[in-house]
């Protein structure tokens, strides 16, 4: 079975949460006999397909970037050719230009939409895009949400409940590097082995400004790994607040990230808007057995982190509540360790990559059988 994934960005150019999900989908479904190909845009496309893990990546030239949406003239031809060779097309939403390509090519293969997030920020553009979006989602054979929480709270998905399935994201811990003892020792000497950790891109919806406000009056060490559009504002805010025990480490490689996950005391994830549909780095915390603090935003973050069981969930945009959650975990190490153990157990039960790959393969097979029956 051959599946074509289509999304605006992918490895090796970009490594965000959705890119990580697509990678894990391709690798885990390969174990179940799925031949995955990814078509994406790149400012410097390779003339030949790239081999990443057990799947191939095809790149079209990125010609224009507008409102976080990439556009490409050449991708239409490439999509038509690759879709013709595929058994199923897996679209990754949202990306309005993808909808245009879908209809321009009159794609007739079975198709499923991985619905990663509602469109939150571009409200005015959404008004223009909504008719096309509705037509695109109407045309999909299946829509897949990453958590029951998101399905229940998305106004868009409510109109498609009959054909929407839930397949949670999953991670394969074996694909993460094991830090060397020397790397671990370096970080332990620099940071100690009891600190709160945030990992992620510094975007507006990550709520890091809330975390910094929550740090006022506390002297707990907090480590922030990542970079992004609001980085300068966060550094300025930290200076204005006079925060002393805050460590901005910037972008780090996977070995360093894993070393910090293993050393950390707890993972903090202050995202406060629905643009945070799931939280891959939150799931990484669970995978490494860490208690978590997150906010209730009606998305997959509260499917990963169960309040009072795997960590603490607080109201969004509430620095005081976040501060008290940090204090509660810090002052109760036995309880924190118990929550971390339950977080890891929940990961093993619900969020492994193998489980995700099995469920996706079953859905693909269901679609093929359905189409075969309809043509018979």
Mean pLDDT of the chain: 95
Copy the structure tokens of residue 366. 């269901």
* pLDDT confidence of residue 369: 93
CA distance 330 to 327: 5
pLDDT of 252 over the 60 cut:
yes
- Domain 2-172+353-375: give its CATH architecture: 3-Layer(aba) Sandwich (3.40)
What confidence score (pLDDT) does residue 374 get? 55
* Position 121 pLDDT exceeds 90: no
pLDDT computed for residue 308 by the predictor: 98
Q: What is the mean pLDDT of residues 221-231?
A: 96
CB-based contacts of 276, cutoff 8 Å, min separation 6: 205, 206, 297, 299, 301
The pLDDT score that the predictor gives to residue 373 is: 62
User: Averaged over 36-47, what is the pLDDT?
Assistant: 97
- Which pLDDT band, with edges at 50, 70 and 90, does 375 fall under? very low
DSSP percent split of the chain into helix, strand, coil, nearest 5: 45, 20, 35
C-alpha 375/C-alpha 186 separation (Å) is: 62
Give the N- to C-terminal CA distance of the chain in Å, as an integer. 19
Contact between 96 and 132 (Cβ < 8 Å): yes
Query: What average pLDDT does the segment 353-374 reach?
Result: 91
Q: With contact defined as beta carbons under 8 Å apart, do 76 and 105 qualify?
A: yes
pLDDT of residue 376: 43
- Section 304-311 average pLDDT: 98
Residue-wise over 254-284: b if at least 16 C-beta within 10 A, else e?
eebbbbbbbbbbbbbbbbbbbbbbbbbbbbb
Q: Is the pLDDT of residue 7 over 70?
A: yes
Residues of the chain with CATH 3.40.50.2000: 2-172+353-375, 173-350
Contacts of 304 (CB under 8 A, 6+ apart): 278, 279, 282, 283, 286, 292, 294, 310, 346, 351
Q: Averaged over 132-146, what is the pLDDT?
A: 97
Domain 173-350 -> CATH class? alpha beta
Give the whole-angstrom CA distance, residue 256 versus residue 12: 19
Instruction: Specify whether the CB–CB gap between 301 and 282 falls below 8 A.
Output: yes
Q: Does residue 67 surpass a pLDDT of 80?
A: no
Report the pLDDT value the prediction gives residue 129, as an integer from 0 to 100: 92
13-17, 34-38, 93-97, 148-152 — which is least confidently predicted?
A: 13-17
Question: Residue 82: which residues within 8 A CB-CB, separation 6 or more?
Answer: 4, 37, 39, 58
The pTM assigned to this predicted structure is: 0.91
Please check the confidence at residue 208 and state whether its pLDDT lies above 60: yes
pLDDT of residue 104 exceeding 50, the answer is yes
pLDDT mean over 64-83:
93
Check residues 371 and 322 and name the one with the higher pLDDT: 322
Query: Can you tell me the distance from the alpha carbon of 113 to that of 148, in angstroms, rounded to the nearest whole number?
Result: 16
């Amino acid at each position: 079975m051959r599946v074509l994934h289509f999304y605006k960005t992918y490895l090796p150019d970009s490594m965000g949460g959705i890119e990580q999900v697509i990678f894990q989908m391709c690798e885990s479904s390969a174990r179940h006999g799925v031949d995955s190909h990814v078509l994406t845009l790149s400012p410097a496309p390779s003339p030949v397909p790239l081999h990443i893990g057990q799947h191939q990546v095809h790149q079209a030239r990125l010609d224009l970037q507008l409102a976080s949406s990439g556009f490409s003239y050449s991708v239409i031809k490439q999509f038509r050719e690759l879709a013709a060779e595929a058994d199923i097309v897996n679209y990754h939403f949202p990306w309005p230009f993808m909808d245009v390509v879908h209809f321009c090519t009159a794609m007739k293969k079975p198709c499923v939409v991985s619905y990663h997030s509602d469109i939150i920020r571009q409200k005015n553009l959404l008004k223009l895009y909504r008719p096309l979006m509705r037509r695109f989602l109407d045309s999909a054979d299946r829509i897949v949400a990453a958590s029951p929480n998101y399905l229940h709270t998305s106004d868009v998905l409510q109109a498609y409940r009959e054909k929407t399935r839930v397949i949670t994201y999953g991670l394969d811990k074996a694909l993460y590097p094991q830090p060397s003892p020397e790397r671990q020792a370096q970080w332990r000497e620099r940071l100690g082995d009891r600190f709160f950790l945030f990992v992620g891109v510094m975007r507006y919806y990550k709520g890091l400004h809330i975390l910094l406000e929550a740090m006022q009056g506390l002297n707990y060490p907090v480590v922030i790994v990542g970079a992004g559009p609001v980085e300068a504002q966060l550094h300025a805010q930290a200076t204005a607040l006079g925060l002393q025990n805050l460590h901005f480490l910037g972008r780090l490689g996977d070995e360093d990230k894993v070393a910090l996950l293993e050393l950390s005391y707890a993972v903090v994830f202050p995202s406060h808007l629905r643009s945070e549909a799931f939280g891959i780095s939150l799931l990484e915390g669970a995978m490494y057995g860490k208690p978590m603090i997150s906010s209730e935003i009606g998305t997959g973050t509260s499917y990963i982190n169960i309040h009072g069981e795997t960590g603490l969930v607080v109201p969004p945009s509430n620095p005081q509540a976040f501060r008290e959650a940090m204090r509660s975990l810090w002052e109760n190490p036995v309880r924190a360790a118990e929550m971390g153990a339950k977080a890891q157990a929940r990961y093993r039960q619900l969020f492994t990559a193998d489980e995700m790959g099995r469920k996706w393969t079953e859905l693909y097979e269901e679609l093929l059988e359905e189409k075969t029956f309809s043509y018979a």
